[in-house]
Amino acid sequence: MELREYLSIRRAYNLVRQEADAPERLTFSEFAILCRLDVAGGSLRTSDIAEYQGSLRPTMTHRTKHLANLGLIERLKGDLDKRNVVCQITDKGRDCVQALCARTCAMIPTGQALSRVTPDRMRRYVDAMGSINCMSGDLILIGLLAYDDTTCSVTDLVGGLGLLQPTVSMSVSSLVEEGLLERVQVENAPRSARVALTETGSERAHEIEAQIEALIIRRKPRLA
């Protein structure tokens, strides 16, 4: 998978998510869980889903309980090990996947990467993308890596990533404190600070890019 494809989907879904009512709003990780269960076509152990997303069990329990409370999946006791919960998608969950994939496709402008992708293909992209835990700060790092210029403003990042302005501002401040970003003053406009990757930030961004490029989007099996 290419970096520009990853960013195109994440930006589109961020915009879709902002339109949803708060109680039904899904994180990208939760959306990816639904896509994984839908693609799998059967039940999966919570431990397997946690391994797939590189998450701790308590985090995965929280995510799957949220999905279950919305009626999108069912959490059931395992047949052999009652301590291990298995999850399976419901009909409502499948409808949700179809709707979210279609809306995400519609949010990608013509000319951008994957602007002509189908909802079914989108489902497989999101399934694969769920294996990378990429938070808002990480999105900012790889967004800067993909940006045409060496610096950009908070406004540029908001538009380019589909994130809310407060989220970007807080994440930028944290990244600056961590030494991954630096603020750059614009000549003749001292109040118009922009941000750029530091050497450490660039290394981190390239590490995430390598993970993205290693993703394999599996095709739908052909009918015999």
- For position 50, what pLDDT does the model report? 93
Residue 221 pLDDT: 55
| pLDDT of the chain, 224 residues: tens digit per residue | 999 999 999 999 999 999 998 888 999 999 999 999 999 988 999 999 999 999 998 999 999 999 999 999 999 876 555 567 899 999 999 999 999 999 999 999 999 999 999 999 999 999 999 999 999 999 999 999 998 778 899 999 999 999 999 999 999 999 999 999 999 987 765 566 799 999 999 999 999 999 999 998 877 655 44
Question: pLDDT value at position 106?
Answer: 97
Record the pTM: 0.91
Q: Which class is domain 136-213?
A: mainly alpha
- Give me the half-sphere count of Cα atoms (radius 13 Å) on the Cβ side of residue 5: 18
Q: Which residues contact 59 (CB under 8 A, 6 or more apart)?
A: 50
- Predicted confidence at residue 224, as pLDDT, reads 45
Contact present, 76 and 88 (Cβ < 8 Å): yes
**3-129 adopts what CATH topology?**
Arc Repressor Mutant, subunit A (1.10.10)
| pLDDT for position 193 | 78
List, by residue range, all CATH 1.10.10.10 domains of the chain: 3-129, 136-213
